[in-house]
Structure 1
Amino acid sequence: MNICIVTHKLLKGDGQARVNYEIVKEVLQRNHQVTLYASEVAPELSTRPNASWIKVPVSGWPTQLLKNQIFAVISALKLLPRRKQYDLIIVNGFITWVKSDINAVHFVHSSWLKSPAHPFRLRKDGFGWYQLAFTSINAALEKIAFARTRFLVPVSEKVRSEVQAICSASQLRVIMNGVDVDEFYPDRSLSRGQLGLPEHVPLALFAGDIKSPRKNLDSVLRALAGLPELHLAVAGSTGGSPYLKLAEQLGVDRRVHFLGYRKDMANVMRCADFFVFPSRYEACTLAVIEALASGLPVITTYQSGVSELIAGDSPSGFVLEDPEDVAGLRRAMRTLSANPELRRELGFNARAIAERQSWQSVAAKYIGLFEEAAALNRTDSDAPGIAHSVRSQKL
């Protein structure tokens, strides 16, 4: 196959950039031809003989909203003259004005706009108004993108439901995100002291953007205030974060260890006893799946799509109904903090769940869908004008 992928970045970082990185790596290993329309691409991908990178420059524009719109226009102008060269065009949400064959949905702005935790509902200053404009514009544009593709690929059942609430014109295939099970694995031999963390105390871990209220670190800190024996490690850039001051105000600052942005998250996770992530809105965060692979029990909420992995037949943690339920969060944290045997049992289940979500297995599902979509494209001329039927499957 000759595949075109349009995305902002393909890097071995986190989030959507990591998902695309892993999929493209597997596609290239299977000797398919791939053309990448992106602003940044990892060298180990762009230098492969069967990969081509068409750079879409967006540096210099003052806001992410403008960068995204410029990317959509430039990528369309570069892609349209070459459209017929490709068997497939694959995108993420609204990212270009060109129609796609497969659209992988990692975030639904229309749902985030309705959330009580949206920044505009919390702040009526310039930042709040900018976030309202950013989400509103993307909510309108994603509806256009979703209606102009053959297959939509939500990254969780939660996202599938959100997509169906605003669009029903495409086939739906749920493919959850994955994890590198060789990078993230259980190992309690690493000394916490090497990371500046306390030994011989129960230690919870939180990781994510600690500037935004969406990740809900504030509830974690409030819950921690009633658990005097528990310590908390927080991984995430501290610049502009209000939570260092909140920890001090709550009197927990001596038990909260702000680690800053970390590139060694696998080691950080191997030092923790459990992972706490009561997000107010999440599609399918990689951090939780990485925690599962590290053998950590997880506390999260049903507002996070990855909760589908945790609350199954072999539970690997606790899932809260309400992200604002600080008392319930505190009970779950206390339970895990005080029960090493329960942590071991849930951690064993967590690792088994993560092994089924390896990047190789996830990429194989995507490639199977690519092959199906390419076959349909080849036969389209035999049945012009026939609309695609709506159906939903989980892969």
Structure 2
Amino acid sequence: MRVLIVTHAFVINDGQGRVNYEIVRAALAAGHSVTLVGSQAAPALLALPRVRFVQIPASRLPTRLLQYQMFAAKSALWIRRHRAEFDVIHVNGFITWARADVNTVHFVHDGWYRCGFYPFRIRDGAYPAYQVLYTRLNAWCEKRALRRARVVVPVSLKVAAEVRALGIGDERMQVIHNGVDVTEFAPGAAERARFGLPEAPFMLLFAGDLRLSRKNLDAVLRALVSMPPHVHLAVAGALRNSPYPALAQTLGVAERVHFVEFVKDMPALMRSVDAFVFPSRYEAMSLVMLEALASALPVVTAATAGGAEVIDDDCGVVLGSPEDVAGLAAAVTRLASDPAYAGAMGRAARERAQTLSWQNMATRYLSLYEELCARRVPQLAPVGGFSVSTET
């Protein structure tokens, strides 16, 4: 097959970029040729045979809103000129104004806007007004892009429900969960001293962008107040302009919270803790949660975190609400108080992760490509026979 994939960056240190990076590697390994349209690609990927990189340099226009629109316009012009060269065109959400065969949905701006935790109001000033404009314009562009795709691939059942609300039928959807490197992320010897963590406590880990209230670190800090004193929390994320150190101080738990800043060696950090906590207020499908599972960590999350459907009672706890501070505290307290329970949950987490490898994910995408090629129909007519599935 001749495959075209469009995303901003084909790299391993970005969620959407990593998904596409792994699809490209699998497609090349299977003997297909792949053309990448984006602003950045990992050199290791470009060194492989049968790969072509069409670079659209990042725009210097002010604001991400204008930059993304410029990329969408330039990529669409290129695709329209070269469409006949490809058997499958795969895009990601609203990334281009061109039509596509496959559109993977990593985030739904309309879902984020309507989820009940959207923090911006247009009347609150220039920056919140810009955020509302950014969200609403992207929501409109996403809806148009998804309706024009032959097959839409939500990365979780949560995302599938939000796509369905945009008027996309189940017959045009196929859920494919994101993957995880089960070799890189695996249980092993702890290295707490390397990260400045104390050896004795039961150590929770929270990892995420500390600039975003939707990640919900504030609920974790509030829950920590009610947890036994031997429970500590490691927080991985850039601290610049973060309100959370001050909140930890105000809550009286600062001595039990260890801000380790941005960590490059996340596998080593995960091997050094006892459980992962991630009650995000809105998430499509978190890679870091899958990485925690692969590291044999019990996971405490919330139903609002996309991908929570892969967590069952054997490997974690899914709270009904991200604001359930008491439930969060109770779940962690049981883990910290019952080593056998926590150990069994960690082993089950590792087993679950092994069904969610990058290879499994990429194989499903390649199978989808092959089915689209086999069902050659007039360009972009809906392909029948697909249904929402959680098969991994």
Q: TM-score, normalised by structure 1?
A: 0.95
Determine the C-alpha separation between the residues in 2 that align with 1:259 and 1:229. Answer: 19
Determine the C-alpha separation between the residues in 1 that align with 2:380 and 2:83. Answer: 20
1:35-86 residue CA offsets vs partner (Å, 9 max, x unmatched): 1000110011122220000011124232221211111011112221111101
1:191 partner letter: E
Structure 1 residue 122: Cα displacement: 11
Structure 1 residue 390: Cα displacement: 7.1
- Fraction of identical pairs, as percent: 47
Please say which of residues 97-106 and 301-310 is displaced more in the overlay: 301-310
Aligned to 1:349: 348
Equivalenced residue count is 388
Structure 1 residue 272: Cα displacement: 0.7
Determine the C-alpha separation between the residues in 2 that align with 1:163 and 1:391. Answer: 15
1:130 partner letter: Y
1:91-146 residue CA offsets vs partner (Å, 9 max, x unmatched): 01011010000001111111100122212059923332222111111111111001
Structure 1 residue 298: Cα displacement: 0.3
Any unmatched runs of 5+ in structure 1? Answer: none
Aligned to 1:182: 183
- Aligned match of 2:377 in 360, 376, 380? 380
Structure 1 residue 221: Cα displacement: 0.5
Q: TM-score, normalised by structure 2?
A: 0.95
Structure 1 residue 184: Cα displacement: 0.3
**Kept in 2: contact 1:14–1:286 (CA 8 A):** no
Tell me the SS of whatever aligns to 2:288: helix
Determine if the alignment matches structure 1 residue 293 to structure 2 residue 294.
Answer: yes
Determine the C-alpha separation between the residues in 2 that align with 1:291 and 1:122. Answer: 37
Determine the C-alpha separation between the residues in 2 that align with 1:122 and 1:304. Answer: 26
**Kept in 1: contact 2:180–2:287 (CA 8 A):** yes
**Kept in 1: contact 2:154–2:160 (CA 8 A):** yes
Determine if the alignment matches structure 1 residue 246 to structure 2 residue 241.
Answer: no
Tell me the SS of whatever aligns to 2:103: strand
Q: 1:208 to 1:392 in 2, by over 3 A?
A: same
Structure 1 residue 284: Cα displacement: 0.9
Q: 1:385 to 1:200 in 2, by over 3 A?
A: closer
**Kept in 2: contact 1:120–1:131 (CA 8 A):** yes
Tell me the SS of whatever aligns to 1:173: coil
Structure 1 residue 147: Cα displacement: 0.5
Q: 1:387 to 1:332 in 2, by over 3 A?
A: closer
Please say which of residues 245-254 and 106-115 is displaced more in the overlay: 245-254
1:354 partner letter: A
Q: 1:388 to 1:50 in 2, by over 3 A?
A: closer
**Kept in 2: contact 1:5–1:37 (CA 8 A):** yes
1:330 partner letter: A
**Kept in 2: contact 1:224–1:330 (CA 8 A):** yes
Query: Any residues of structure 2 matched to 1:116-135 within 5 Å, and which?
Result: 116-120=116-120, 124-135=124-135
**Kept in 2: contact 1:179–1:286 (CA 8 A):** yes
Query: Any residues of structure 2 matched to 1:1-395 within 5 Å, and which?
Result: 1-120=1-120, 124-168=124-168, 171-187=172-188, 189-227=189-227, 228-311=229-312, 315-376=314-375, 379-380=376-377, 388-389=383-384, 391-394=386-389, 395=391
2:217 partner letter: L
Structure 1 residue 391: Cα displacement: 4.3
**Kept in 1: contact 2:150–2:381 (CA 8 A):** no
Tell me the SS of whatever aligns to 1:190: coil
1:266-291 residue CA offsets vs partner (Å, 9 max, x unmatched): 00000110000000011110000000
1:222-247 residue CA offsets vs partner (Å, 9 max, x unmatched): 11122222110011111121112111
Please say which of residues 237-246 and 116-125 is displaced more in the overlay: 116-125
Q: 1:60 to 1:387 in 2, by over 3 A?
A: closer
Determine the C-alpha separation between the residues in 2 that align with 1:121 and 1:334. Answer: 37
2:62 partner letter: P
Q: 1:385 to 1:85 in 2, by over 3 A?
A: closer
Structure 1 residue 349: Cα displacement: 0.5
**Kept in 1: contact 2:191–2:269 (CA 8 A):** no
**Kept in 2: contact 1:269–1:291 (CA 8 A):** yes
**Kept in 2: contact 1:292–1:350 (CA 8 A):** yes
**Kept in 1: contact 2:191–2:271 (CA 8 A):** no
Q: 1:251 to 1:164 in 2, by over 3 A?
A: same
Tell me the SS of whatever aligns to 2:377: helix
Please say which of residues 367-376 and 58-67 is displaced more in the overlay: 58-67
Determine the C-alpha separation between the residues in 2 that align with 1:121 and 1:296. Answer: 37
Tell me the SS of whatever aligns to 1:119: coil
Determine the C-alpha separation between the residues in 2 that align with 1:113 and 1:385. Answer: 29
Q: 1:387 to 1:37 in 2, by over 3 A?
A: closer
